[in-house]
């Protein structure tokens, strides 16, 4: 077959259709059966019924320390009619587990026996037949069913098998999964530290291997193959001819000029599905090649993981004869309007927490390449394909990515992101392993709105009032009428001018930006940094027109740093961390106060107590100082207490 040109997935299937085709292709598909020593059978699945070889116990044994007797020799014993027994004739000392001497049928506990002399025992109660005796077969009778077919073996099961003399078990082999990363741009994870521009570290393979192991399979992660039709075809042929039960080809699944997976599967076998109306995960390929299931897993990491969960996980369980375990779910209120594409079922990663009795789901970044949208998420919700999105406040079903108990120990903090939040999150976890700070970046104003709607435990805000030069107070007055809160300063952070190392343009401050030989790069209108910069200009009595590049905008601190590093601008305003990340020089020009906005209702919560303990600790201050670009002398101080109408303190 000719090297195909671009391939287009013409007939997308819904998740249900795709799953039905995929799982319906061979409902009886199982791994090979192998004999496993019982001592190594934990978590394996039985391939047939397991029958006891021996009875347990296989002899009558004492269940107590005491004396073995014939019950009938003890009949009539009572408080006023004690009976004496002779050691070696009518009484035989036994310990728990000892076989009963022949012709005895009961045991009397040592506590209920009086030793009269060396050879005489006295009892004051009769023993009934088989009292304190573990009889033959009491637990297991030889020939009985110990474990049914398709049973996943747990630790007590291993105990029962060994006790019953079953030394090996017929189990399904663990599914072997061949994982084939493809992509000319990929470099092996072992070289992760050296990736040059255009090179991507291969990590999906390791992620997928971990997921295979979690489902009871054995992953074989292969070396990267370049985007080359013949190479991928050869790789797939080797994979399906190997012992693998299932083949995953990562990337090359979509419509790019070098996306060959679907064409190769079609040439060597049959494509059941190419394109599923899910997002991320849309270009997923499901096929059968030489009798083996093959999945073309999309290249973007979140797409790869979701495609695995939908199609690989159920098959791995089936191969072991097991039902696919369902995920835990909860109902939560979605904190933000969440638009979604009609015709695609979207998987939105969210953080979750209980705020004033309601479970709140706050959507995180949605890009399929954003792996941290999964590492930071507490759950995933699905926007059905027939909807154009979800409205803020709707109740939605969310699949949990953490244990349910965690929800009560999660603090939600949304608003403007700042690096000190990372320090805070780390300290919280260190101090109390059950606790967690889940943070979402929606900007300062977004944080205030979430406080107003009782959708967050606290918010982080650094809103400058250009009229006064003060921080946050006037915004609280404007947006939090009727909502009592406290403002606690987390840190004061420096904003400054980023210039190339050595400051070749000789910029010493905002004044110098008016020099005709200096090119500036600005932040977008509405951003906190832009408001601050305009404020600085006014203080210097400079007009925007005097700044060359004032109308050139970037959207993040890092984008400003990149623009300066590349030489497209000589200076831009951003935080110190952005300068440090790219090795730029930093000229401090202004300080902004970053406050926590804490609803009064949360102030008395023990979680808040822990938070305050951390913020006021020397350790926290030291760690934040070491980040560079922060002043921590105000950390933990009350910047204001607002009762919903007026300031009780702090203004």
Ligand X SMILES: Nc1nc2c(c(=O)[nH]1)N[C@H]1C(S)=C(S)[C@@H](COP(=O)(O)OP(=O)(O)OC[C@H]3O[C@@H](n4cnc5c(N)ncnc54)[C@H](O)[C@@H]3O)O[C@H]1N2
Query: What is the binding site for ligand X (CB under 6 A)?
Result: 181, 183, 185-186, 200, 202-205, 250-256, 259, 280, 282-283, 298-301, 303, 368
Segment lying near ligand MOO (by CB under 6 A), choices 70-78, 175-183, 279-287, 643-651: 279-287
Residue of the chain from 7, 46, 55, 303 that contacts ligand MOO (CB under 6 A)? 303
CB of 377 to ligand X, least distance (A): 18
CB of 604 to ligand X, least distance (A): 46
183 forms part of the interface with ligand MOO (CB under 6 A)? no
Q: Which two tokens stand for residue 392?
A: 């803020």
Q: Report the partner that residue 571 touches, choosing among ligand X, ligand MOO, none (CB closer than 5 to 8 A by kind).
A: none
Whose CA is closest to 253, among 192, 212, 199, 294? Answer: 294
275 forms part of the interface with ligand MOO (CB under 6 A)? no
CB closer to ligand MOO, 46 vs 303 = 303
CB closer to ligand X, 366 vs 453 = 366
CB closer to ligand X, 7 vs 338 = 7
CB of 281 to ligand X, least distance (A): 7
Report the alpha-carbon distance of residue 3 to residue 26 in Å, rounded: 31
H/E segment holding residue 219:
strand 218-221
CB of 1 to ligand X, least distance (A): 20
Question: Which residues, at least 6 apart from 630, have a Cβ–Cβ distance to it below 8 Å?
Answer: 420, 491, 492, 493, 494, 576, 624
C-alpha neighbours within 13 Å on the C-beta side of residue 585 = 14
CB of 254 to ligand MOO, least distance (A): 8
Q: Report the partner that residue 529 touches, choosing among ligand MOO, ligand X, none (CB closer than 5 to 8 A by kind).
A: none
Whose CA is closest to 205, among 221, 218, 190, 192? Answer: 221
Report the alpha-carbon distance of residue 261 to residue 258 in Å, rounded: 9
Question: Nearest 5°: phi and psi at 206?
Answer: -70, -35
Q: Which two tokens stand for residue 240?
A: 């399906």
Question: Which residues, at least 6 apart from 37, have a Cβ–Cβ distance to it below 8 Å?
Answer: 167, 168
Only one residue has tokens 């970044």, namely 365
311 forms part of the interface with ligand MOO (CB under 6 A)? no
Q: Which two tokens stand for residue 354?
A: 């209980």
CB of 540 to ligand MOO, least distance (A): 46
Whose CA is closest to 635, among 649, 619, 608, 616? Answer: 616
Q: Which two tokens stand for residue 233?
A: 């075809």
Helix (H, G, I), strand (E, B) or coil at 140: strand
Q: Which residue's C-beta sits nearest to ligand X?
A: 299
CB closer to ligand MOO, 172 vs 300 = 300
282 forms part of the interface with ligand MOO (CB under 6 A)? yes
Q: Report the partner that residue 299 touches, choosing among ligand X, ligand MOO, none (CB closer than 5 to 8 A by kind).
A: ligand X
CB closer to ligand MOO, 298 vs 528 = 298
247 forms part of the interface with ligand MOO (CB under 6 A)? no
Whose CA is closest to 332, among 414, 409, 416, 392? Answer: 392
Report the alpha-carbon distance of residue 552 to residue 51 in Å, rounded: 78
CB closer to ligand MOO, 296 vs 636 = 296
13 forms part of the interface with ligand MOO (CB under 6 A)? no
CB of 396 to ligand X, least distance (A): 23
Q: Which two tokens stand for residue 570?
A: 């000589």
280 forms part of the interface with ligand MOO (CB under 6 A)? yes
Residues in contact with ligand MOO, counted by CB under 6 A, come to a total of 8
CB closer to ligand X, 106 vs 236 = 236
178 forms part of the interface with ligand MOO (CB under 6 A)? no
293 forms part of the interface with ligand MOO (CB under 6 A)? no
Q: Which residue's C-beta sits nearest to ligand MOO?
A: 368
- Report yes or no: 588 and 496 within 8 Å, Cβ to Cβ: yes
Q: Which two tokens stand for residue 32?
A: 């090979």
User: What's the Cα-to-Cα distance from 373 to each of 121, 305, 376, rounded to whole Å?
Assistant: 75, 12, 6
Helix (H, G, I), strand (E, B) or coil at 642: strand
Binders in 368-427 for ligand MOO, by CB under 6 A: 368
CB of 217 to ligand X, least distance (A): 18
312 forms part of the interface with ligand MOO (CB under 6 A)? no
CB of 282 to ligand MOO, least distance (A): 3
Distance of CA 430 to the CA centre of its chain: 18
281 forms part of the interface with ligand MOO (CB under 6 A)? yes
CB closer to ligand X, 157 vs 346 = 346
Q: Which two tokens stand for residue 500?
A: 């190339």
CB of 254 to ligand X, least distance (A): 3
User: What's the Cα-to-Cα distance from 240 to each of 215, 245, 287, rounded to whole Å?
Assistant: 21, 8, 12
Report the alpha-carbon distance of residue 97 to residue 58 in Å, rounded: 11
300 forms part of the interface with ligand MOO (CB under 6 A)? yes
Q: Report the partner that residue 640 touches, choosing among ligand MOO, ligand X, none (CB closer than 5 to 8 A by kind).
A: none
- What would the DSSP string read from start to end of 336-352? S-EE--TTSEEEEEEEE
Q: Report the partner that residue 183 touches, choosing among ligand X, ligand MOO, none (CB closer than 5 to 8 A by kind).
A: ligand X
CB of 191 to ligand X, least distance (A): 13
H/E segment holding residue 297:
strand 292-297
Q: Report the partner that residue 447 touches, choosing among ligand MOO, ligand X, none (CB closer than 5 to 8 A by kind).
A: none
CB closer to ligand MOO, 8 vs 395 = 8
Query: In this structure, how many other beta carbons lie within 10 angstroms of the beta carbon of residue 282?
Result: 22
Residue of the chain from 106, 279, 537, 598 that contacts ligand MOO (CB under 6 A)? 279
Q: Give contact residues for ligand MOO (rule: CB under 6 A).
A: 279-282, 298, 300, 303, 368
């Amino acid at each position: 077959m000719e090297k195909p040109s671009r391939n287009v997935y013409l007939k997308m299937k819904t998740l249900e259709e795709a799953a039905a085709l995929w799982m319906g292709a061979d409902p009886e598909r199982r791994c090979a059966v192998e004999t496993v020593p019982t001592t190594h059978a934990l978590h394996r699945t039985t391939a047939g019924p397991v029958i006891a070889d021996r009875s347990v116990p296989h002899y009558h044994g004492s269940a107590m320390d005491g004396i073995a007797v014939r019950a009938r020799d003890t009949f009539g014993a009572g408080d006023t009619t004690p009976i004496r027994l002779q050691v070696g004739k009518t009484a035989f000392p036994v310990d728990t587990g000892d076989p009963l001497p022949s012709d005895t049928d009961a045991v009397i506990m040592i506590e209920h026996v009086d030793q009269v002399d060396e050879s005489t025992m006295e009892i004051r109660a009769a023993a009934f037949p088989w009292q304190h005796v573990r009889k033959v077969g009491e637990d297991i009778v030889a020939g009985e069913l110990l474990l049914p077919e398709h049973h996943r073996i747990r630790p007590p099961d291993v105990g029962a098998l060994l006790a019953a003399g079953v030394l090996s078990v017929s189990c399904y082999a663990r599914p072997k999964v061949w994982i084939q990363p493809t992509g000319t741009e990929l470099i092996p994870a072992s070289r992760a530290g050296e990736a040059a521009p255009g090179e991507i570290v291969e990590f999906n393979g390791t992620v997928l291997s971990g997921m295979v192991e979690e489902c009871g399979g054995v992953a074989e992660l292969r070396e990267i193959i370049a985007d080359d039709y013949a190479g991928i075809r050869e790789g797939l042929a080797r994979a399906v001819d190997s012992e693998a039960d299932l083949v995953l080809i990562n990337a090359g699944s979509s419509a790019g000029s070098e996306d060959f997976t679907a064409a190769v599967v079609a040439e060597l076998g049959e494509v059941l599905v190419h394109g599923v109306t899910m997002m991320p995960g849309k270009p997923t390929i499901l096929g059968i090649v030489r009798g083996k299931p093959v999945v073309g897993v999309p290249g973007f990491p979140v797409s790869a993981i979701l495609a695995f969960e939908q199609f690989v996980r159920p098959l791995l369980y089936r191969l072991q004869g097991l039902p696919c375990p369902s995920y835990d779910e909860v109902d939560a209120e979605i904190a933000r309007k969440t638009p979604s594409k009609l015709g695609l079922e979207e998987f939105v990663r969210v953080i979750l927490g209980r705020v004033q009795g309601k479970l709140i789901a706050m959507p995180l970044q949605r890009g399929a390449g954003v792996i941290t949208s999964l590492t930071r998420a507490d759950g995933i919700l699905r926007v059905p394909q027939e909807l154009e999105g979800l409205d803020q406040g709707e109740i939605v079903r969310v699949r949990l990515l953490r244990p349910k108990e965690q929800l009560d120990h999660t603090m939600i903090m949304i608003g403007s992101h700042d690096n000190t939040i990372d320090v805070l999150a780390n300290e919280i976890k260190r101090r109390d392993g059950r606790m967690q700070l889940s943070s979402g970046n929606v900007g300062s104003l977004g944080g205030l709105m979430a406080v107003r709607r009782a959708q967050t435990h606290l918010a982080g805000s650094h809103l400058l009032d250009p009229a006064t030069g003060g921080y946050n107070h006037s915004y609280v007055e404007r947006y939090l009428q009727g909502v009592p809160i406290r403002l606690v300063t987390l840190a004061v952070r420096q904003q400054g001018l980023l210039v190339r190392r050595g400051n070749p343009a000789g910029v010493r401050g905002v004044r110098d930006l008016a020099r005709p030989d200096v090119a500036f790069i600005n932040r977008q209108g509405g951003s906190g940094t832009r408001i601050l910069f305009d404020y600085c200009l006014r203080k210097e009595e400079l007009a925007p027109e005097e700044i060359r590049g004032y109308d050139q905008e970037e959207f993040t601190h890092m984008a400003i740093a990149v623009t300066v590093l590349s030489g497209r601008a000589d200076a831009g305003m951003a935080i110190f961390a952005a300068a440090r990340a790219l090795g730029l020089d930093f000229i401090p020009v202004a300080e902004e106060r970053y406050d926590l906005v804490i609803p009064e209702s949360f102030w008395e919560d023990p979680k808040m107590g822990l938070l305050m303990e951390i913020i006021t600790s020397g350790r926290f201050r030291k760690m934040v100082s070491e980040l560079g670009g922060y002043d921590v002398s105000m950390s933990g101080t009350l910047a204001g207490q607002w009762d919903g109408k007026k300031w009780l303190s702090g203004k």
